[in-house]
Amino acid sequence: AAMYQCKKNGKNNYMFSGDISSAETNEADLIFSDELHKVGVQEIDEQHQVIVNALSNLSAAIKNNIDEKEITLLFDELGRLISSHFLSEENLMKRYAYPGLESHKAEHEYFLAEIPNVKMKVSKGFGELFMVRLIRHYLMHHILKEDKQLGEFIRQNDIKG
């Protein structure tokens, strides 16, 4: 069964599709660092790995009932890593004159605008692992949909020198 229905009634409204407790989540579901998610650009792939590691650390902290302050620090670090990664991708898109820059950047802006909402929901006890899964789902989808195309474009138009 799906853990959530991906947006209901528009922006910032999430819904569980069933009552799934944190104990029922599986750590392996939170990992997505495999060949399928590699885009073939070392800089991007390495940054994705750092983000995956931070997401896994956050998930482990939540599952191990680490104190809220530490979870907040880990969440903030994840947000910084994602923001830095998006900026790096946007710089690559500009350098390579990527034709999908505007739509890709809009995806980044949307996600970055959602981070404070997700953090607020976590702080109100909405379900930390649910929120980690939501972030994971977005990132996995973004990598497969947007970053794979960007990686292919960069590889085809690689600037040597």
Contact in structure between 132 and 55 (CB atoms under 8 Å): yes
Predicted local distance difference test score (pLDDT) of residue 14: 41
Taking the C-alpha atoms of residue 41 and residue 44, their distance in angstroms, rounded to an integer, is: 6
Structure tokens at 97: 């004159």
Q: What is the DSSP string of 43-87?
A: HHHHHHHHHHHHHHHHHHHHHTT--HHHHHHHHHHHHHHHHHHHH
- Mean pLDDT, 10 residues at a time, the chain of 161 residues: 39 38 41 72 93 89 85 90 96 95 94 84 72 85 92 86 37
